[in-house]
Structure 1
Amino acid sequence: MPQLNPNPWFFIMLTSWLTYSMIIQPKLLSFISMNPPSNKMQAAPTITPWTWPWT
């Protein structure tokens, strides 16, 4: 069965993973985020209980 032969597919997977790791990933990580995370603490939301008419 040819699909059980890992010989050509392993090389393709290894080549594509190395291409992603060495070329594409550093280019993507060099972009500056337009919405950087802030260190400001979020205020806890005020929760008002629901008043059920039958209780």
Structure 2
Amino acid sequence: MPQLNPNPWFYIMLMSWLTFSLIIQPKLLSFTSANPPSNKTSTTTRTLPWTWPWT
């Protein structure tokens, strides 16, 4: 059963994980958010219920 042999797939998985954690992840974390969160409280407007014509 070839899937039990860890030689080909374990090396590929290890290299993929290292590539992601050492190269791609720092690049993704360096981006700044276009809409950063703020501490302001949001004001919500209360809407009135719809009056249906048949009620």
Structure 2 length-normalised TM = 0.74
Question: What is the identity, as a one-letter code, of the residue corresponding to 2:31?
Answer: F
* Residue in structure 1 matched with residue 13 of structure 2 by the alignment: 13
- Relative to structure 1, the CA distance from residue 53 to residue 16 in structure 2 (aligned partners, 3 Å threshold; closer, same or farther) is same
> Quick one: distance in 1 between partners of 2:35 and 2:26?
19
CA positional deviation for 1:40: 1.1
Gaps of 5+ in 2: none
Structure 1 length-normalised TM = 0.74
Question: What is the identity, as a one-letter code, of the residue corresponding to 2:14?
Answer: L
Which consecutive aligned stretches of 4+ in structure 1 deviate over 4 angstroms post-superposition?
none
SS in 2 for 1:31: coil
Identity, in percent, stands at 67
Task: Tell me the number of residue pairs that the alignment of Structure 1 and Structure 2 aligns.
Answer: 54
